Amino acid sequence: PHSSHWGSRGLVFARATAAPGARMPSFTEVKQVLRREVAPGAPSVYRHLAAVLHQLLREAAIPAAVPSSSFEAVSSEIRAAFIPLKGGDLQADTSWRPSQAARPVQLAWAGEQVSLITGSTRAGAKQKVAAVGRGVEVDTSYLDLSKQARLWEWAGVSLGSEETFLLQLSLQELARAHGLRALRFWGRIIARGSDYYIAECLTEDNPATSAASRRAWEGMEGSNKYTFFVSQRPSAPDSWTQLPLVTPEQIVAARRIRRFLSGDLESLVPCYPPFPGTPTEPTGGDVAKGKEMNLLRAVVALITSETKLALAGSLEESSFQAEDGTDFQVTEPVEEPPNLDSEALSEPDNWVHTEPLFNAVGRYQLPPEPDTDEADIDALEDQALDAEPPQFLRCVSEDVRSAPGEDQGNQSQWVQRKAVDGTVVWKSTQWPGAVAAAKPGFSVSNIYVGFGVCSTFEAYQPPIPEAVQEEYAVAVDNDNEEVQTSLTEEQDVVVEPPVDDDVDEGQ
């Protein structure tokens, strides 16, 4: 019945397309035409239709109910998976199949995706939460990257629908594994090897609880307000690594160099002066050599302080009291953020920075007061003189860059773009790849996708080495109060060798 069905369809089509007065071809003639090969070695239409119908009749439970969409899918599959041989028989093309060496890798990758999609690792994630001592259920429904991805696309930033979906599932597992309540996708830094996918969350435990520890690094009131996780395979739930704390010395050193990251967190940073590492103790232990993870953490802190934006009125200044009783000024979100329309979002006065700029000594806040029994009291006093108090909620309209040349003048650090659906995008020219997007009725979404190198008007030049030390100078003769301007060689003291009395008597 199926052959007659398709045959009647073919006859109806032939009758409709035949010229007036032309003879209607018979079924045998049509069959001969369909058996012809279009190209040498290519299967004929008749053989292809026979293979498709055979596959449909073999797989379908009710052959009469086979939809047309299944016919098209099977036809495409057979066309891609079969090649004709000289004998005229069809044989499967196995060239697309993975090799024996690549098969375990692909199976492992597929297993990771299954664990993310099915949520089979949630039981293990809850055990990890209890292991770290939090033991709380984390609501990860706010991690909806699909909505934010639509805003990013208007700025020309896209990770792809498949990668965005897998990244969202991986972030949810990360939040459940560590009990993180406020987690967001910070962005991606392109490296020479594997790229770095970075996630940001608020720091739960203050790493600087005393003035002594704040001399080594800042706590929740400063540059370590956020904790960052990095992964080079975000599809794997256990691939996230927490970055170390950032120190003021690392911030200062990161400003002096411009370097493309290698993609290896454990690699050393070849630069001069040597890039500092993290102290072994908060009170100032030995500083190891800086690794790429330290440089990555410092670069992320610099980009966050200069490009993370929020709407004016969504943040307010408040006081933060450390464990030792020291008060600091910080910013916190308000309960009812403003809801601006598209025209208001296009005004730079309605956008502010969420974090202050780093001062000259690599800190948000002023350095702590030195103790009287400290040996490096002079160095701490010099830092206090160079440091400036933090400036919170800086307006975007104040961000300008001094371009070279008298005719250039100052240029804004931001470029604004408005989409047709009302989305307003602000792109940084200081850090190419930093984007802040907002839409009426949606919260602000910040993301960075770039090389982790700031833009500059001037070509990079290595830092000038320190001044050469002075040559050896002759000391002043205090008795005569005269300075000897030239060196004279001291006369050698000649000593006669001792004479043996026994030898003299023998002679």
Question: Do the Cβ atoms of 46 and 35 come closer than 8 Å?
Answer: yes
Pairing mode, strands 424-428 and 414-418: antiparallel
**At how many degrees (to 10) do helices 248-256 and 292-307 cross?**
80
**If DSSP codes are grouped into helix, strand and coil, which group holds residue 335?**
coil
Please state, in angstroms and rounded to a whole number, the distance separating the CA atoms of residues 272 and 299: 17
Token pair recorded at residue 241: 């690594």
Question: Do the Cβ atoms of 145 and 234 come closer than 8 Å?
Answer: no
Contacts of 128 (CB under 8 A, 6+ apart): 176, 177, 178
Pairing mode, strands 434-438 and 351-353: unpaired
Please state, in angstroms and rounded to a whole number, the distance separating the CA atoms of residues 278 and 242: 14
Token pair recorded at residue 422: 């009302």
pLDDT at 350: 93
Tell me the torsion sign for CA atoms 371, 372, 373, 379: positive
pLDDT at 182: 83
Here the contacts of 181-185 (C-beta below 8 Å, separation 24 or greater) are: 181/138, 183/140, 183/143, 184/143, 185/145, 185/148, 185/447
Question: Identity (one letter) of the amino acid at 270?
Answer: P
In the block, tokens 């308000």 appear at 334
Q: Alpha-carbon dihedral of residues 209, 210, 213, 215, nearest 10 degrees? A: 130
**If DSSP codes are grouped into helix, strand and coil, which group holds residue 255?**
helix
Please state, in angstroms and rounded to a whole number, the distance separating the CA atoms of residues 466 and 387: 22
pLDDT at 251: 94
Residues linked to residue 298 through DSSP beta bridges, in sequence order: none
Contacts of 479 (CB under 8 A, 6+ apart): none
Please state, in angstroms and rounded to a whole number, the distance separating the CA atoms of residues 152 and 498: 95
Closest CA to 324 of 417, 221, 420, 239: 221
DSSP 396: G
Spell out the per-residue pLDDT of the chain, length 507, in tens: 333 334 444 444 444 455 555 667 787 887 878 887 766 666 788 888 888 888 777 766 555 555 666 777 778 777 766 554 444 444 555 565 667 777 888 888 888 778 777 764 444 444 333 334 344 555 666 678 888 999 999 989 999 888 898 898 889 888 888 888 789 999 999 999 999 999 999 888 888 877 778 888 888 888 999 999 999 988 777 889 999 999 999 999 999 998 999 999 999 999 888 899 887 666 555 567 889 999 999 999 999 999 999 999 999 888 887 777 778 888 888 888 888 999 999 999 999 999 999 988 899 888 877 665 555 555 555 555 556 778 889 999 998 887 666 556 678 899 999 988 889 999 999 999 999 999 998 889 999 999 999 988 777 677 777 888 887 666 666 665 555 556 677 888 888 888 776 655 555
**If DSSP codes are grouped into helix, strand and coil, which group holds residue 416?**
strand
DSSP 348: G
Token pair recorded at residue 126: 């809850």
Closest CA to 117 of 164, 169, 74: 169
pLDDT at 325: 74
313: how many CB neighbours lie within 10 A of its CB? 15
Question: What DSSP line would sit under 160-189, residue for residue?
Answer: -HHHHHHHHHHHHHHHHHHT-SSEEEEEEE
